[in-house]
Amino acid sequence: WAPGHESSSELRFFANCQFPPSTTLSPTGGDLSRSACVIDDVLESLRAASDREFQKYLMQNASYPKHKEAARHLYSDPASYSECRNALLRYARRLPPGSVSDLPYAKLRLLFGLTHLIIEDTKDCGADRQGVVRRHCDVFEGHVLPGGVNTQLVKDANRSEFAVGGKYFSLSSALEKNRFLSEEQRKVFIAEFQRAIVVAIERFVLSFAKHHELSQEHTLTLMKAVTTQMCQAGLGNLERACEDCRKYFPSQPKQRTFFTLTET
């Protein structure tokens, strides 16, 4: 993803803050206190945005969609709000000592905001199997794992570049090499290229799931979560988590996105 140096530097920081589950760290009291302040600000901002949207529906005398009500409940219900806050505090405790105090507010807000949204997106991917109303209306399909791939990823494939397990996919580059195709051949080529991207992602995630002995249910949830973050839904999370990202998402005509999928 390369819209500009300001935001890309924030994403580089976020990428460097991923730690294996076995990592045990002991952040200072000052770190946790500052983290708590940023976390509260992030969640309050999301709650306020949810309330503003709800009020717009009321003013228009329009029916509030069930999936939006489920999303609003996350911040309006005290128990759900507290659960979100505690999850982020647990994450904060795993950050390196001193790292929080050394970072500006904007980067911390991106870190905690994006972490929160990814956590909730992942939980939402398994909500339908638990009889809970989902907070999103995403549809899932798939070639290798049926019902596992966010259909938006297929639609976005021609607008992004992908590196999956070291293999590079760029539709624009591929079309440039095959620029003498007829219109009909071009359509077939694009469809086959999109399928190749999706299959590569599916096989990568399935290999990861098998290596880590995930259950069938957890494998499906992981597939949904990964493919959701690799399309416009994931870019929308960046927009919600960081004000500096809003100038680039979600509909900039010159937007260029690059997704890398690796196992660390």
Q: What is the mean pLDDT of residues 35-60?
A: 94
Residues 232 and 122 occupy one common structural domain = no
Residues 26 and 113 occupy one common structural domain = yes
pLDDT digits (tens, 9 = 90+) for 196-207: 999 999 999 999
Cα 17 to Cα 87, 133, 218, 243, 244: the distances in Å are: 16, 32, 24, 20, 19
Q: Are 75 and 81 in contact (CB under 8 A)?
A: yes
DSSP 223-258: HHHHHHHTSHHHHHHHHHH-GGGTTTTTT-TT--EE
**Model pTM score:** 0.78
Domain that holds residue 196: 140-261
Residues 48 and 165 occupy one common structural domain = no
Interior CA angle at 79 toward 73 and 82, to 5°? Answer: 100
Q: How many residues does the chain have?
A: 264
Residues 19 and 37 occupy one common structural domain = yes
Q: Is residue 218 part of a domain?
A: yes
pLDDT digits (tens, 9 = 90+) for 67-103: 899 899 999 999 999 999 999 999 999 888 888 888 8
Number of domains in the chain: 2
CA-to-CA distance for 259 and 37, rounded, in angstroms? 31
Residues 109 and 12 occupy one common structural domain = yes
pLDDT digits (tens, 9 = 90+) for 112-171: 999 999 999 988 887 665 667 778 878 899 999 999 999 988 887 777 899 999 899 998
